[in-house]
Structure 1
């Protein structure tokens, strides 16, 4: 009889070790595995850079101890560095339950023969819903009304024409990016009665949701009452929405960003809000996180801010665990991974 394979669940207080192990047992024979657990301190302790990798939690020392003799690791935030890899020669699969494995040194993993997998789309539903929540909250000025009620007021002045909000139905909404999240947002907006424009140079028009139209970014900015960002952050898209782009948006329009903070010049956005060119903004991501106490967005009017929570749902945590467990099951069966971040390691093996 084969001996069970040591596997490390390096979870945290979002993607729980319990979820990782339950998903592993659901995806393959439970008797095939010998689970170990390492609990990382995120989100109670912010993630950050560890050695040469980004957005990681825990420490190299804890990983080296926990990975002794382990062949498979399921995690969200654990650091996979050159030092960890050199100290853990038994490791073969490092399955990261995130859309991008920035906490793994891919070049070093390839050199050590370790497959690194990732989990695209794990938070698409949650982020699409959060986008709509921020959009509606900003357009209908929900935070201002909430604050007035909590302060003991019944502020009927919010019914004055100039104080009232905007509707999605009948509005033109522009989406910058039409991937898994943008596509979901587009379908919801069409159902709510919006005219939806999409700017995405890589989109196939045949795959766009019904009721949407593909346009260039300048046309989208000039035509949209609401602009929502769903693009990846690359050298091409960094600073995509700056002062000139904000000025090109119609007076009284709204900007929403649940994608990446680096897409937007946020000081310029704060100015556009203070000067009244934009009606409102809804933001979940920032140029530097956590957002500094003196950041101009904190004092800008008519802005709804959340602390990078768009992907934070229980369903996302369960999907994340399911996706990495499926990669472990493929490894167990001798099959190639579905989402490999360092495919060169497959050719080498």
Structure 2
């Protein structure tokens, strides 16, 4: 029996990468169809009941006809799509979490959902370090002035320069695949690292960082970098009260999720001089609205949600989910199943 696979790639995790990874993982024997989704040329958004998806329910329903396995990064998987795809057994999402999937509905329909943890960990950690350095050394501001023909000596004033990373205390909120890499990189700069992560055992820090409460981390850190997931417990975790607890002249960096931060409180702190600077790769609304206060607040470094944008990230995503397809076809347990209690239906034959 020939298994039909849908590669629903986009312009980052491309169908070419998915096809190459499938050949490496399972060889021949699959009939691979392709669907190209518009992300990132068009922003992702909400599709029916799922978030951060690209494409429509109608095009997925059509593309999934007769398909047993789907490999994707951004395609939505909704109740309506599942009801119209009776042959689907495995839906592989090349992201750190399957936010574009209705997991409860997938389990009810007997569809296993897998994902790709850590696929962008190195890229995001490197980007985080770049953002920290960009703020501390005012790289975007000074570049903009030079490009406009302005050579400003006042950037060299003592009250305008930032601290070095060497000897600075950096607080990391979250110590997963990304946060732990950031900690190792910071050690190479000679920074002192504090960590707040209630899910990490102290021995996992292996002397690379000190585990502390969030209050202690905020009080002691010159630089705070967020690496937590957006959950009901973490939404808005950094607001006016937490910023007030930081030392004067601190720096806040967020390359995790926009929901973690009260951005108006950040702008207030930048305007007052409480914060030396801030750097954000993620925002509460993406793309950023034209009139957003962040766009006119001095001291903010911004990138458009591309901390994980490296070639290795795209290649890792394709490889990880193609390997899951291989495990499924060989009857092996999935390595990264998001709904492990699902009763997976096996194709006939």
Q: Same fold (TM over 0.5)?
A: yes
Q: Which residue of 1 aligns with 2:33?
A: 36
Deviation, structure 1 residue 32: 1.7
- What stretches of structure 1 move > 4 A for 4+ residues in a row? none
1:196 paired with 2:175, answer: no
Deviation, structure 1 residue 157: 2.4
User: 2:198, 2:88 → 1: CA distance?
Assistant: 39
Deviation, structure 1 residue 348: 8.0
Is residue 187–residue 208 contact of structure 2 (8 Å, CA) maintained in 1?
yes
Q: Which residue of 2 aligns with 1:276?
A: 273
Match of 1:329 among 326, 331, 348: 326
1:133 paired with 2:130, answer: yes
1:177 paired with 2:200, answer: no
Deviations, residues 25-69 of structure 1 (Å, cap 9, x unaligned) = 01122x121111000111111111112211111111111111111
Q: Which residue of 1 aligns with 2:308?
A: 311
Is residue 111–residue 345 contact of structure 2 (8 Å, CA) maintained in 1?
no
TM-score by length of 1: 0.96
- SS of 2:323 mapped into structure 1: helix
Deviations, residues 101-129 of structure 1 (Å, cap 9, x unaligned) = 12111111111111111111111111101
Match of 2:81 among 74, 84, 87: 84
- SS of 1:161 mapped into structure 2: coil
- SS of 1:281 mapped into structure 2: strand
User: 1:32, 1:348 → 2: CA distance?
Assistant: 20
User: 2:327, 2:82 → 1: CA distance?
Assistant: 22
Q: Which residue of 2 aligns with 1:290?
A: 287
Deviations, residues 235-289 of structure 1 (Å, cap 9, x unaligned) = 1111111101101100011000011111111100100001100000011111222
Match of 1:122 among 119, 123, 132: 119
Deviation, structure 1 residue 192: 0.5
Q: Which residue of 1 aligns with 2:3?
A: 5
User: 1:173, 1:198 → 2: CA distance?
Assistant: 9
TM-score by length of 2: 0.96
Q: Which residue of 2 aligns with 1:21?
A: 19
Deviation, structure 1 residue 298: 1.1
How many residue pairs are counted as aligned between the two chains? 346
- SS of 2:128 mapped into structure 1: helix
Q: Can you give the 5+ residue segments of structure 1 that lack an aligned partner in the other structure? A: none
Deviation, structure 1 residue 209: 4.5
- SS of 1:7 mapped into structure 2: strand
User: 1:12, 1:159 → 2: CA distance?
Assistant: 45
- SS of 1:286 mapped into structure 2: coil
Q: Which residue of 1 aligns with 2:144?
A: 147
**What is the RMSD computed on CA atoms of the aligned residues?**
1.3
